[in-house]
Amino acid sequence: FKNASGLPNRAQMTSARDIATLSHALISNFPEEYKLFSREKFVWKGKTYKSHNRLMQSYEGADGIKTGYIKASGFQLAFSAVREDKRLIGVYFGGDSGKHRDKTLAFLMDKEFGELNINAPSSSSTKIVKKEKANTNNYKVVVGTFKYKNSAEKQLKLIQQKYPKTTNNKEAKVVSIKINGKQLYESRFQFFTKKDANNACSRLKKYKRDCFIRG
């Protein structure tokens, strides 16, 4: 961690396990404060603010924690639920949208709760689960985010023309995303392995081109 705010910093590296460990520490060591992370809304100076954690409202046993978003790692969620006195903490990074993030994490949580019901419970009531994506060619190299779709398309053509070996004939795609309610367009090359995505982004950065990887 390079700051305590969660704001973007190129030198910051965070894993899902890091966030799961911090979530576990918050739940275990600060139970009173943790209750704040289950609130669906609050009122401040006469105005009602609603939580962005939509999964809290629909997932059985949900009791916290919080969402997040920065461009470099997409839509994120740290989530906790308790069923039959068993707590499960799930963390998801790299979602294309809040809806996709919630759907994927709910699927993983359901799968793990199913395994907990089949297998003998561990000595700890909290299980931190590390999951690898089945599709190893599901990594994308994002080369820009723009207000207008034609600007995003121009960026893809520019990268293809100037650095053809870097993209290695990968699919070029403009994806519509929403950030803080604003419609934006993301330029990306997709269907990389993790290793190839890292190599491609490293080469682009050598040419002073901004990029980041999304799983």
- Residue 123 scores a pLDDT above 60: no
Q: Give me 48's structure tokens.
A: 């009602």
Query: What pLDDT is attached to residue 133?
Result: 45
Do residues 110 and 56 share a domain? yes
Of 128, 149, 164, the position where a domain reaches its end is 128
CA distances from 158 to 40, 57, 143 (A): 44, 44, 10
Specify the 3-state DSSP secondary structure of 125.
Answer: coil
Q: How far apart are CA 194 and CA 10, in angstroms?
A: 19
In sequence order, the β-bridge partners of residue 5 are none
Do residues 45 and 92 share a domain? yes
Place of tokens 């969620």: 77
Task: Tell me the pairing of strands 86-95 and 126-128.
Answer: parallel
Taken in order 150, 152, 158, 160, is the CA torsion positive or negative?
negative
Do residues 104 and 31 share a domain? yes
Query: What pLDDT is attached to residue 155?
Result: 93
> What CATH number does residue 166 fall under?
3.30.70.1070
- Residue 178 scores a pLDDT above 60: yes
Average pLDDT, whole number, for the chain? Answer: 83
Residue 4 falls inside a structural domain: no
Residue 113 falls inside a structural domain: yes
Do residues 41 and 91 share a domain? yes
In sequence order, the β-bridge partners of residue 192 are 139
Do residues 93 and 150 share a domain? no
Do residues 59 and 144 share a domain? no
Query: What pLDDT is attached to residue 124?
Result: 47
Q: How far apart are CA 98 and CA 69, in angstroms?
A: 9
Specify the 3-state DSSP secondary structure of 124.
Answer: coil
Q: How far apart are CA 184 and CA 206, in angstroms?
A: 26
Of 76, 93, 128, the position where a domain reaches its end is 128
Q: How far apart are CA 215 and CA 211, in angstroms?
A: 13
Of 128, 160, 194, the position where a domain reaches its end is 128
Span 145-154, average pLDDT:
92
The model's pLDDT over 55-111, given as tens digits with 9 standing for 90+, comes to 888 888 888 888 888 877 888 999 999 888 889 999 998 888 888 888 888 888 888
Do residues 146 and 205 share a domain? yes
Residue 90 falls inside a structural domain: yes
Do residues 100 and 35 share a domain? yes
Do residues 90 and 146 share a domain? no
Q: How confident is the model at residue 128 (pLDDT cuts 50, 70, 90)?
A: low
Position 58, amino acid: S
Do residues 109 and 187 share a domain? no
Domains in the chain: how many in total?
2
Ranges 70-74, 148-152, 171-175: which has the least confidence? 70-74
Do residues 34 and 53 share a domain? yes
Residue 11 falls inside a structural domain: no
- Residue 153 scores a pLDDT above 80: yes
Please state, as a whole number, how many other Cβ atoms lie within 10 Å of the Cβ of residue 82: 16
Report if pTM > 0.75: no
Position 129, amino acid: V
Span 132-144, average pLDDT:
73
Domain of 25 in residue numbering reads as: 16-128
Q: Give me 197's structure tokens.
A: 């995505």
Do residues 118 and 148 share a domain? no
Residue 6 falls inside a structural domain: no
> What CATH number does residue 112 fall under?
3.40.710.10
Residue 134 falls inside a structural domain: no
